[in-house]
Amino acid sequence: MSFPIQSELNNLFIAAAELIFNADHVLITAGAGMGVDSGLPDFRGVSGFYRAYPAFKLTGKSFADIANPVTLFEEPKTFWWFYGHRFELYTRVKPHLGYNIVKNWVERKSGFVYTSNVDGHFAKIGVAPNRIVECHGSIRYLQCAIDCDNHLKLIENLPFRVEENAFNFNGALPRCLSCGGYARPNILMFDDFYWNETRVRRQAAEFLRWIEEIEARRKSLVVVEIGAGKAIPRIREKSESMNVPIIRINPNIDDAKVKFGISVPVGALEALKNINKHLIKMRLGKFTNK
């Protein structure tokens, strides 16, 4: 599959806009590629992780090694330097314009967002809390490292500041309010037996009710999948499980392929802006195939 020329891309943008325009509802499924245009790393492969965190290359540790609850007990400062840096990055970075476009689609089409991203950026730009599933959790919440109770704490900041020198920070390690042991982000990690799923289960229940209502009313649905890779295919699997047309946005041509729908092999922001441009024209009755 070769990369399409600009005129072919424009036809893809138009076709995607038509699918959204004609659908009663829209489901946005988003992976790490959604945040790349905001300046966030996507950890694509081992090299992607080391580009974002070169200090870990010297230690030989992979993303799976660090994003593991065992590391919190064996190397608590290393663990929290990594997650502290990510928390500060996700808090500091402003979501790109594509998030606002998605928010508008969700509001207009009584839609839903289903994302594996833990940055909290869909909530940050104002997507209604009852219209989001963060299937891997959110870095904005803390839980007990051994899940001693079901308590989750929404946080605005951490009790320490990350230093630029790897694995150093000033301040105290986050602690569980109930047992006094270590606290950790409420994020699904590798080999994770202590993840508190309470919040995600509530979100998933809202999502299921939404799907059941669409099916009961025999309404049409389209999926817009953004930046979802194959390495951890949960988002792609969710998109395909809907059994409706998929608009698959991914700058990797192979990852953009889709059996039933439209493949849009460009980045999130470029795709969303161009699709939305044609969608606005359709709403205003001013659409021409140009």
State yes or no: 144 annotated in a binding site.
yes
From the list 252, 260, 247, the residue with the least C-alpha distance to 101 is 247
Helix (H, G, I), strand (E, B) or coil at 268: helix
User: Which is the catalytic residue, given 96, 121, 136, 278?
Assistant: 136
Distances (CA, A) of 238 to 86, 207, 229, 241, 285: 26, 12, 12, 5, 33
CA angle 88, 43, 201 (to 5 degrees): 70
CB within 8 A of 104, min separation 6: which ones? 276
State yes or no: 135 annotated in a binding site.
no
State yes or no: 176 annotated in a binding site.
yes
278 is catalytic: no
Beta strands 183-187; 137-144: pairing state: antiparallel
Give CA–CA dist 38/65, Å, rounded. 26
Beta bridge partners of 30: 115, 226
User: Binding site for Zn(2+): residue ranges?
Assistant: 144, 148, 176, 179
Please identify every residue annotated as catalytic.
136
